[in-house]
Amino acid sequence: MRKNIVAGNWKMNTTVPEGIKLAQEVSQAVKAAGELKCDVIVGVPFPHLVPVCQALSGGPVAVAAENCADHDKGAYTGEVSAAMVASTGAQYVILGHSERRGYYNESIEMLKTKVDLALASGLRVIFCCGESLEERKAGTHFEVIKNELVGSLFHLSAEAFGQVVIAYEPIWAIGTGETATADQAEEIHAFIRQLVAEKYGAVVANDTTILYGGSCKPSNAPELFAKPDIDGGLIGGASLKAADFMGIVTAF
Ligand code: PGA
């Protein structure tokens, strides 16, 4: 049966010392909480990967990068490859976040390449998809999400796809305080699972973890996570304080 996951996405926040402290606070709180109904991941900026992986080594909290390059190595000044990320000890990489698609022009085709490079380096991928407010108002949100998944993921073998976690993040709910209702989110999650079933079969679809992201907080997490197709969350703002993040981790 599929895993529940709560993953933090710190984005461009915290200095290295602040990040190490936050990671340690999360790790201690997770240990103190005893048996949890979800896996816990922290998604951290590149400079934090090595010290945070060291600080969390052997513990219950896994580490994700927030991006990786679309080339495997070479003359790409300033870029960080999937292999570099994997060599830090990180187990996951977040790809396709709407901020990367929007501000850095990451295309469906480029993300396909990043997904392949990440998986080839042994990383698991947290793959984000989601529609803008305009797209939802125009009623094209199902089509937008389908295109993002088909274009960047559905070339994978079933085995490779098994290393992918999907995160549905409606752009209009990210950092805005506006959450999709649990019913709105569930509708899309069920749609995504159906797409996966059509491509890879019911067993794979049933094993696929699908996270919700967008203004998820301790107060709304229980209702979201109670839905049958919502298997946890990708958490931005509320992952920057250990207590808030733990309020979501323990929401199952
Ligand atoms: P938010 O961000 O929780 O601050 O809305 C979620 C995300 O962008 O992953």
48 assigned to active site:
no
Question: How far is Cα 51 from Cα 222, in angstroms, rounded to an integer?
Answer: 32
How many angstroms is it from 235 CA to the middle of ligand 1? Answer: 5
Pull the structure tokens for residue 238.
């509320």
How many angstroms is it from 165 CA to the middle of ligand 1? Answer: 16
Stretch 130-135: mean pLDDT: 95
Contact between residue 36 and residue 62 where contact means Cβ atoms under 8 Å apart: no
How many angstroms is it from 111 CA to the middle of ligand 1? Answer: 20
How many angstroms is it from 132 CA to the middle of ligand 1? Answer: 14
**Residue 1 pLDDT more than 90?**
no
User: What was the pLDDT predicted at 175?
Assistant: 86
What's the DSSP call for residue 190? H
The ligand 1 site (C-beta within 6 Å) comprises 9, 169, 174-175, 213-216, 234-238
pLDDT in tens, 153-209: 999 999 999 999 999 999 999 988 888 899 999 999 999 999 999 999 999 999 999
Q: Whose CA is nearest to atom 3 of ligand 1?
A: 236
Contact between residue 101 and residue 68 where contact means Cβ atoms under 8 Å apart: no
pLDDT in tens, 54-111: 999 999 999 999 999 999 999 999 999 999 999 999 999 999 999 999 999 999 999 9
Burial class (CB in 10 A: 0-12, 13-18, 19+), 151: middle
Q: Output the CA angle 29-31-35, nearest 5 degrees.
A: 110
- What global pTM score does this model have? 0.98
Atom of ligand 1 at shortest range from CA of 237? 4
Nearest to 189 by CA among 42, 8, 41, 4: 4
Give the domains, in start order, of the chain with CATH numbers.
5-197+207-249 (3.20.20.70)
**Which candidate in 97, 141, 186, 189 is catalytic?**
97
Length of the chain: 252
106 assigned to active site:
no
Rg of the chain's alpha carbons, rounded to an integer? 17
Question: Three-state SS for 113?
Answer: helix
